[in-house]
């Protein structure tokens, strides 16, 4: 009887078995008290502008809308002081044709913007100072003329923008296209030579001012023409006329500067 009771299991007794847990233990990462890079905040707030999001803002950063995006212009201001100084030095050596080669991979708009802004400031400051001294020597009442600032801003900003755009269209028509930013960079740095020329215009000698204007205009025109000559040669037989027009137009700028900014008298 006892053998039978041991062979037949008790139906009221239910055996419950637990499987081994698959949980794994991980060793400490070694970085305690810090937020990991995977779950932390963005590395740089500016990444919002440099990388389009996958949401609804992405269509706005494509096509023509990129022209109104800060990210599309960020790369053209990614230069340091040494880069700008090297390019300024190259602009003061007009007979070298290596400027386009050096800036082909990273043309900037930082240097041209501040060169034009400095020209406007220098022109307005010198013009205002000279007219003030002239009126005081003649015992006349002096009034500040804001027109010299607006005229200088329109001249320099307009020239360094409109002329490269027109040249870009012309070169594209003659099947010798060039980068628009590259042209803006070249023309912007070509105006640096007029900054010391404006400072030298304080010398009250008409002949000296004509010499300074002529040298500055020749250096600026030669710098632009020589750096564009090799590229424009692919435009065909008319390349010489294009280079000559570029050279003469830059000389015309120096002549305009002589008439309106280099004629201050004490």
Residues 6+ apart with CB under 8 A from 58: 52
Q: What is the dihedral sign for C-alpha 39, 40, 41, 42?
A: negative
CA distance 266 to 188: 31
pLDDT band at residue 174 under the 50/70/90 scheme: confident
At 245 the three-state DSSP class reads: helix
The CA-based dihedral angle spanning residues 95, 101, 102, 106, taken in that order and rounded to the nearest 10 degrees: 140
Place of tokens 């034009």: 116
CA distance 122 to 199: 8
pTM of the model: 0.72
pLDDT band at residue 4 under the 50/70/90 scheme: very low
Sequence spans of domains, the chain: 97-260
CA distance 264 to 58: 54
At 70 the three-state DSSP class reads: coil
pLDDT, position 63: 55
Q: How far is CA 1 from CA 4, 11, 12, 13, 206, in A?
A: 5, 18, 20, 20, 139
DSSP string, 119-167: HHHHHHHHHHHHHHHHHHHTT------THHHHHHHHHHHHHHHHHHHHH
pLDDT tens, position by position, 205-232: 889 989 999 999 999 999 999 999 988 8
CA distance 121 to 99: 26
Residues 6+ apart with CB under 8 A from 154: none
Place of tokens 């007794």: 13
CA distance 43 to 187: 37
pLDDT tens, position by position, 78-122: 888 999 999 999 999 999 888 988 898 889 999 999 999 999 999
DSSP letter, residue 104: S
pLDDT band at residue 65 under the 50/70/90 scheme: low
């Amino acid at each position: 009887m006892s053998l039978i009771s041991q062979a037949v299991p008790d139906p009221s007794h239910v055996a419950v078995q637990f499987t081994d847990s698959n949980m794994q233990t991980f060793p400490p990462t070694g970085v305690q008290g810090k937020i990991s890079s995977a779950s932390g905040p963005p590395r740089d707030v500016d990444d919002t502008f440099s990388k389009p999001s996958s949401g609804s803002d992405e269509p706005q950063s494509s096509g023509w809308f990129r022209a109104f995006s800060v990210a599309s212009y960020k790369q053209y201001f990614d230069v340091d002081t040494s880069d700008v100084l090297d390019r300024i030095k190259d602009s003061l050596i007009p007979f070298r044709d290596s400027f386009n080669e050096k800036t082909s991979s990273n043309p900037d708009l930082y240097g041209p913007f501040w060169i034009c802004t400095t020209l406007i400031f220098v022109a307005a400051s010198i013009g205002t100072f000279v007219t003030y001294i002239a009126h005081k020597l003649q015992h006349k009442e002096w009034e500040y003329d804001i027109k010299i600032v607006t005229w200088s801003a329109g001249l320099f900003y307009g020239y360094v923008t409109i002329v490269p755009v027109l040249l870009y269209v012309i070169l594209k028509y003659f099947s010798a296209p060039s980068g628009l930013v590259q042209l803006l960079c070249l023309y912007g740095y070509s105006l640096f030579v007029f900054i010391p020329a404006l400072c030298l215009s304080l010398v009250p000698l008409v002949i000296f001012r004509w010499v300074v204007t002529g040298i500055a205009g020749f250096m600026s025109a030669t710098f632009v023409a020589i750096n564009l000559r090799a590229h424009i040669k692919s435009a065909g037989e008319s390349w010489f006329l294009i280079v000559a027009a570029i050279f003469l137009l830059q000389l015309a700028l120096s002549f305009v500067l002589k008439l309106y900014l280099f004629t201050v008298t004490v």
